[in-house]
Amino acid sequence: MATVLTNPAEMIERGAPHLIHSEEQLAAYTKALYRLTSETHPTATQIEAIDLLTLLIERYEGEHYTVPNASRPRCSAFYSIATA
C-alpha cells in the first residue's frame, strides 16, 4: 500500500467500498466490478479495486446464498443426467 490508512471511517464516508449489507449494494458493486473487468488493460489501481470488490461480493454471497450439501447419490444422478 502506497499510503498509510489514517482514517478509514472518513474514507468510507467519502465513498470508499465497504462491507455489503443489502441486495442494492450487491447490485451496485457487481455492476462496478463488471465495468472494471471489461477494461482491456486495467491499471494497477483498477486491479486492486477488482480484487477488493471480488472479496466483498464473495463474502456477501457466501453469507446469503449458501449452496446446500448434496449427498453422493444426488450428485451422481445429476452427473448422469447432465452427460446423457
In the structure grid, which three cell numbers stand for residue 69, read together? 450439501
The pLDDT score that the predictor gives to residue 53 is 96
Rounded CA-CA distance 66/30 in Å is 18
Tell me: pLDDT of 75 over 80. Answer: no
Q: Does residue 24 have a pLDDT over 70?
A: yes
pLDDT in tens, 55-73: 999 999 999 988 777 666 6
Question: pTM for the complete prediction?
Answer: 0.72
Q: Using the predicted structure, report yes or no on whether residue 11 has a pLDDT greater than 70.
A: yes
Identify the CA nearest to 37 among candidates 61, 23, 57, 22: 57
Judge whether residue 81 has pLDDT over 70.
no
Q: Which pLDDT belongs to residue 77?
A: 58
* 53 within 8 A of 36, measured Cβ to Cβ: yes
CA angle 36, 38, 39 (to 5 degrees): 75
Q: By the 8 A CB rule, do 19 and 59 touch?
A: yes
